[in-house]
Chains A and B, each alone.
Chain A
Amino acid sequence: MSTLISLIVSGCATGAIYALVAIGFTLLWQTSQTINFAQGEFVMLPAFFMLAGMNMGMPFWLAILVGTAISVAILGAAFKRALVDPMLRHGALPLAIATMALSIMMKEGVKEFYGAEAQPFPSLIPAIDLHFLGATISTQSLGLLAVGVAAVLALQYLLNSTSVGRQMQATAQNPNVARILGIPVERMVMYSFIINAILVSVASVLVTPLYLAKFSSGETLGLAAFIAAIVGGFNQVRGAILGGILLGITDNLAATYISTQYRSAVPLALLIAVILFRPQGLLGTAEERTV
């Protein structure tokens, strides 16, 4: 029994990582119909901004603030202005391909300037192990889970219960009508990119102590988060949490009870099953264009 609890708890912790990154996928899709295939690299990059700050002598907390500010400017505002705006008018597919190119550029850029080796990254949450019903739970994992859930709740509140959030949703559903209604469409879209940049910075601070700061750390993370977003429902922020946690737990159970060698195939099998039987995702709602 304690084995099962341990597997579920550690699966939830890993799933929370995926969820935190997947939230960005769903947010950008919900508000601007953008699929960002560089989302994994968006989580990788802020850690390097922060490491650069620490190397310049900044304390960790200041490096986090500076790194987040730079990320908001580059991964939020500049990303939207320089890449999304010119590409989105040609449709979602060219933009998706452009973000793939961006992910390669980001990886190569970090490798060029920071080297190819993994760097240790300090943890904001002290790594203390708690024992619960025979299972060992790390405070880092609990922190990740708590931040993931809090981020979803905050975003749900913002999108559904505030004027700005409703304007963002209206912008996503029909920008022309939103504009006629007097909604500042450009500003609303910009908000979603800035929120995504803040989210990836938070994810970066929490995830990098586990993943290590490395130019390639976004590869696995981005793919897993993308699968989590589809499984949970691409058009529901709360779907990201469900998809992420389901993926984390499935991976652990598969490794333990099926085979360690075939573990990486199981999440893909889950993805196929969802696409076949519930293409809008477990919590998603059917819409004209389903991802």
Chain B
Amino acid sequence: MSITRKVSRLAVLTLAAGFMAAPVLAQPIHLEDVAELSGGGATVGTNFKNGADLAIAEINAKGGILGHKIEITHADSQSNPGVARALVQKALDNNPYVLLGPGYSGSVKVTESLAAKAGIANIMGGEAAELTQTGNEYVFRTSFGQQSTMPKVARYIAEEIKAKTVAVVWVNNDFGKGGRDVINAEFAKRGIKVVADLSTEAGQVDFAADVLKVKNAAPDAVFVYLNEDESARALKELKRQGVTVPLIGETTLTGQKVIDLAGGAAEGALAHVGLTTDAPIPAVQEFRKNFAAKYNYVPDHNGIKGYLAIYVIKAVTEKMGKVDPANFAKTLHGMTIRAKDEPGILMDVTYDEHGDIDRQGFLVEVKDGKQVVKTILPKMVP
């Protein structure tokens, strides 16, 4: 064998060995997201999308998950459950690793069975209590469900505010109706009388008649459970008509967007918040800084939801040691993800067998145009 031939063989073998030893160019992990990018829920979906994109950019910059880069397709449900269902079906036809969204409970209600049928885990943003109570093994929350939050709100109204009567102002959709049903039951348990139970429309602009009813009912506190834009308008009208009793809500009421839109009218509003970018937690503050730097605005809790959804996928995949859509849901049930192991998860979180989460929460108040955390409410199970 000539020297030239030997060198050629050696070169070929070296190249072959090199190809085998080097990490194979891994297939990207494909995610599909169906979000409310327009319509009444545009704030919700846009924040969720941006949060997810930020997490993906961070993970991809560090080499992806187990060497797999993440790619995502966002689809706009137009905040319409019918459109959401069609888009989820289309998304599932693309065989995603995990389905993200929708954010609206009404949309999740009509789409979650599709993901379950396809055997694809669905990490969504809906908060209506019923979403995880149907025996669906593939649906997972990114925030507390109403059955977890409303008892805490009702307890605060009963024990801290010591209210005997309340007015409940809620938006007439699945999210609002679900929250209203749970909190009214909690009020009944604690002997608090609901003196005004007011349904409002999504997109409603004029709250004069509703607030007048609240005023005439003279409650000790008002529970406001509306979407972002409507929360701002309701707060303005409540202030305009001189309602001075405590205004309490859940997450949305004290979101930064609502504070900005309502101006001074949001001052003093209280809310139980499962996720807030004002949380005095360094990892959350780092997320907030990075998000604001990328998108030029401060995100609300939906931004954190989108961000966490991606880091949940990372943690589960790394625990499995492989990209295995079939075992994803099984692995996530009962799993605890600790922030010290996966900093992107921001706070320790535990998923139960229904896909509900246990995580610390916050009681916040709006002061000087900002959400201020009054109390940190610890995880139910440390």
Interface residues of A (CB under 8 A from B): 3, 6-7, 10-11, 13-14, 107, 111, 115-118, 120, 129, 136, 138, 210-212, 214-216, 219-220, 248, 251-253, 255-256, 260-261, 263-264
Contacts and interface: CB of A to CB of B under 8 A. Distances in A.
A220 B203 contact: yes
Most B-side CB within 10 Å, residue of A136, A248, A255: A255
B209 interface: yes
Contacts of A117: 42-43, 46, 257, 297
Given A129-B240, A260-B210, A212 B229 contact: yes
Interface residues of B, number: 34
Provide the main secondary structure of the chain B interface.
helix
Given A117-B257, A211-B205, A255-B210, A260 B199 contact: yes
Contacts of A214: 42, 229
B205 A111 contact: no
A15 B38 CA distance: 27
B257 A118 contact: yes
B241 interface: yes
6 contacts: A116-B38, A116-B46, A117-B257, A136-B240, A220-B203, A252-B208
Given A111-B38, A116-B42, A118-B43, A10 B242 contact: no
A7 B209 contact: yes
Contact of B37 (A13, A116, A129, A263): A116
Nearest to A115: B46
A17 B198 CA distance: 24
B212 A220 contact: no
Nearest to A248: B206
Interface string B263-299: 1000000000000000000000000000000000100
B38 A216 contact: yes
Contacts of B60: none
B228 A118 contact: yes
B54 to A, nearest CB: 16
Lowest 9 A-B CB distances belong to which pairs?
Answer: A116-B42, A10-B208, A255-B209, A252-B209, A14-B206, A261-B199, A256-B209, A260-B199, A116-B46
Contacts of B37: 111, 116
B232 interface: yes
Given A111-B38, A117-B257, A210-B205, 18 more contacts: A10-B208, A111-B37, A116-B42, A116-B45, A117-B42, A118-B232, A120-B260, A120-B263, A138-B240, A212-B229, A216-B39, A251-B206, A255-B210, A256-B212, A260-B199, A261-B172, A261-B199, A263-B209
B2 interface: no
Most A-side CB within 10 Å, residue of B203, B206, B213, B242: B206
A220 B205 contact: yes
A261 B177 CA distance: 12
Contact of A7 (B203, B205, B212, B297): B212
B240 A3 contact: no
B206 A136 contact: no
B243 to A, nearest CB: 11
Given A120-B260, A261-B172, A7 B208 contact: yes
B172 A252 contact: no
Interface in B229-265: 229, 232-233, 240-242, 257, 260-261, 263
B203 A219 contact: yes
Nearest to B242: A136
A136 B42 CA distance: 32
A259 B94 CA distance: 45
Contacts of B260: 120
A263 B198 CA distance: 12
Contacts of A14: 205-206, 208
Nearest to B40: A216
A238 B131 CA distance: 51
Nearest to A15: B206
Contacts of A11: 208
A121 B241 CA distance: 21
Nearest to A263: B201
